[in-house]
Amino acid sequence: MGKLKAIIFDVDGTLADTERDGHLVACNEAFERMGFDIRWTWEEFKELLKIPGNARRMRLALSARTSLSEAEIDRIVPELFALKKELYLKRVGELPLRPGVRRIIREAIDRGVRLAIVSVTDEDQVRALLNAQLPESLGHFDPILGKQSGEKNGALYAECVAKLGCDASEVLVIEDSEKGFKAAKEAGLPCAVVYNDYTKGQVFSRAELVVRSLEPLDLDLLEKLCLG
């Protein structure tokens, strides 16, 4: 048995390419169904990804691009986000996992390495994605800490490690963004960054590993490179 006892995955952009083909499409459809002339391009949405959470992004769009009062926006945003969530959940079966993810997860399960999630995404959406793309692995992800568990920061990662019952040196975080990477580092956790089209070029200094894809890696190599 190696030193690696658990892997904590981020979701959006790490487990799967959910942003462009999932969240963006669902947001635009929700705007349209509720009668708002707002349609984000992928370029616009990539910039908005710096703001955590689609409810916040939708609130900003309504403030900037409609004449609604703050009180009206407060009333509309929960309904708009609920519709967006419903539309996203219908699309999760069409959102493929990123290369190498399925194999790494299968190797972890076979080796008895625990799996967990820390994400800014609604936990129902996380479970729906796992159920659609990794149904045989869903039960192995515990805990799943998403939007309902609080802000994604070092404290949330520390909470996840405590729930796993592991030492920080035995846990590997897999992230795709500078913000997520920094949260993992705040908790003193080793972190492998698997960047994508919209996080490429962000600052990942002090990451144990920075790669474009998990495809060329296996669990033994990940452990060797990241936990030494």
Instruction: Let me know if 21 is a catalytic residue.
Output: no
**Count of CB atoms within 10 A of residue 25's CB?**
18
The alpha carbons of the chain give a radius of gyration, in whole angstroms, of: 18
Q: How far apart are CA 144 and CA 201, in angstroms?
A: 28
Which entry of 12, 21, 122, 167 is annotated as an active-site residue? 12
Q: How far apart are CA 158 and CA 165, in angstroms?
A: 11
Which entry of 10, 17, 142, 218 is annotated as an active-site residue? 10
Q: How far apart are CA 133 and CA 212, in angstroms?
A: 21
Instruction: Let me know if 220 is a catalytic residue.
Output: no
Residue 199 to residues 17, 21, 44, 66, 116, Cα–Cα distance (Å): 12, 16, 14, 30, 22
Q: How far apart are CA 195 and CA 11, in angstroms?
A: 12
Which residues carry out catalysis? 10, 12
